[in-house]
């Protein structure tokens, strides 16, 4: 889990036929917002005409992400790679007429980014799958175990293919809630996909049998325990491209959430939803580039850091270097006297500087008296010329590993 824990930022990609009309991915027919045939017809408009996987990978790299996770198949069953299983895929059923996953995986590897594949276990369009829509189930496994077995052979076949063709670093499963671990053959899936790749990582949507938690949209309020976790989040309110959804977070708001994840010891998996022609919507591109400006300046306060200290000691997000001798303070808004306040740190402070800018800062300590071991209150002054447009990050170098006063 080492690379994953240190990576902090990943880019999620939801790309599929739902981007043609800009409707809710898969759920739109499942929930009955449009008939299944109409939904499927979108495949006719899925051209990928301007798809430039090298550009995607370069943009992801520029954002500061260390990995990317792309939908190989969502709940609608449309496969984006060249598959010999099933009937519904980009090569045979859309004007794209090619494997869209292979060149992207290569482009990621060329950029030295880790490869994650999203795969929906549930496949609502497949004729031998149990569930079709919210109101319409095809059959139940107990009624027709043979039919389920057929479906499982199809699903395992696709997974085997993905493994053989791409052998990703990370498997991001979804849609597991419709069946039990036994019905999905989770153990078999895990051992199949781990063959010859013992470091491979699985998210937790395999009926609990995964390596890390995947909260979605809801940023955890409290610092989760010591478990690995990753927040999957949209830039607007949609995973896939929906032209009508203009409810984008600003770059500042995305960075707010990212900093919160870092300070709580987790990763952010930030989603983009490319259009049917393969272009990335302008608003999404802007967010990735702005994020890139901030991440490239603050590398040392992002990658490989550990979760921060309780808010009792600093009114804001923080993180620690692995050896806990550097405390990073993420300052969004500068106080009116230009001074931030740190309390109860027992270590001697050796130096304080602005990350990515280098300015060495002055500090003063109050309420520290000779007759008590109370470490005092530290005021750190941030000069105006050191202020970052998003978050100014202050590195506090301590003598030894951090000791918090109780
Ligand atoms: C949900 C949804 C899905 C989306 C995913 C991303 O489980 O079913 O549409 O792809 O979350 O985390």
- 90-115: pLDDT as tens digits: 999 999 999 999 999 999 999 999 99
What are the b/e assignments for 225-239, b being 16+ CB within 10 Å?
Answer: eeebbbbbbbbbebb
| pLDDT of amino acid 218 | 86
- Copy the structure tokens of residue 378: 């530290």
* Mean pLDDT, residues 198-208 taken together: 91
**Does the C-beta of 216 come closer than 6 Å to ligand 1?**
yes
Residues 342/378, Cβ–Cβ less than 8 Å? yes
- Copy the structure tokens of residue 404: 């918090």
| pLDDT of amino acid 117 | 98
Closest atom, ligand 1, to C-alpha of 74? 10
| pLDDT of amino acid 337 | 95
| pLDDT of amino acid 127 | 95
pLDDT over threshold 80, residue 225:
no
Q: What angle do CA 204, 262, 9 make, to 5 degrees?
A: 65
pLDDT over threshold 80, residue 303:
yes
- 140-164: pLDDT as tens digits: 999 999 999 999 999 999 999 999 9
**Does the C-beta of 121 come closer than 6 Å to ligand 1?**
no
* Mean pLDDT, residues 199-217 taken together: 90
Q: For a pocket test of ligand 1, which of 78, 216, 237, 268 has the largest count of ligand atoms closer than 8 A to its C-beta?
A: 216
* Mean pLDDT, residues 358-379 taken together: 96
| pLDDT of amino acid 269 | 98
SS3 label, residue 69: strand
* Mean pLDDT, residues 165-177 taken together: 97
Task: Give all domains of the chain, ordered by start, each with its CATH number.
Answer: 2-297 (3.20.20.80), 306-398 (2.60.40.1180)
pLDDT over threshold 80, residue 223:
no
**pTM score, two decimals?**
0.96
For strands 339-343 and 377-381, give the pairing: antiparallel
Residues 127/40, Cβ–Cβ less than 8 Å? no
Round to whole Å and give the CA distance between 299 and 302.
5
**Does the C-beta of 25 come closer than 6 Å to ligand 1?**
yes
């Amino acid at each position: 889990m080492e690379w994953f824990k240190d990576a902090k930022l990943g880019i999620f990609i939801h790309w599929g036929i739902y981007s043609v009309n800009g409707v809710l991915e898969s759920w739109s027919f499942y929930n009955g917002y449009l008939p299944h045939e109409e939904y499927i017809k979108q495949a006719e408009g899925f051209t990928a005409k301007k798809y430039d996987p090298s550009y995607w990978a370069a943009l992801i790299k520029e954002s500061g992400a260390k990995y990317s996770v792309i939908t190989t198949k969502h709940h609608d069953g449309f496969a984006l790679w060249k598959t010999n299983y099933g009937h519904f895929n980009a090569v045979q059923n859309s004007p794209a007429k090619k494997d869209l996953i292979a060149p992207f995986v290569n482009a990621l590897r060329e950029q030295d980014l880790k490869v994650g594949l999203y795969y929906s276990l549930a496949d609502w369009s497949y004729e031998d799958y149990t569930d079709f829509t919210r109101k319409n189930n095809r059959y139940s496994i107990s009624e027709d175990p043979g039919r389920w077995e057929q479906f499982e052979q199809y699903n395992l076949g696709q997974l085997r293919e993905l493994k053989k063709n791409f052998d990703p670093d990370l498997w991001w499963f979804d849609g597991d809630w419709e069946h039990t671990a036994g019905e999905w053959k989770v153990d078999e899936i895990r051992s199949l996909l781990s063959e010859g790749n013992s470091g491979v990582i699985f998210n937790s949507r395999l009926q609990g049998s995964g390596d890390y938690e995947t909260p979605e949209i809801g940023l955890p309020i409290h610092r989760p325990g010591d478990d690995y976790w990753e927040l999957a989040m949209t830039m607007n309110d949609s995973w896939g491209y929906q032209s009508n959804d203009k409810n984008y977070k600003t770059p500042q708001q995305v960075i707010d959430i990212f900093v919160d994840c870092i300070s709580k010891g987790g990763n952010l998996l930030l989603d983009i939803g490319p259009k049917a022609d393969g272009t990335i919507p302008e608003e999404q591109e802007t967010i990735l580039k702005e994020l890139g400006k901030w991440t490239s300046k603050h590398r040392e306060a992002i990658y490989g850091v550990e979760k921060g200290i309780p808010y009792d000691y600093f009114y804001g997000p923080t993180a620690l270097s692995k050896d806990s001798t550097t405390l990073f303070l993420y300052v969004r808004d500068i106080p009116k006297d230009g001074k931030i306040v740190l309390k109860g740190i027992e270590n001697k402070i050796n130096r304080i500087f602005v990350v990515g800018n280098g300015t060495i800062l002055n500090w003063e300590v109050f309420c520290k008296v000779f007759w008590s071991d109370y470490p005092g209150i530290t005021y750190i002054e941030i000069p105006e010329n050191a202020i970052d447009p998003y978050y100014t990050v202050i590195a506090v170098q301590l003598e030894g590993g951090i000791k918090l006063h109780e």
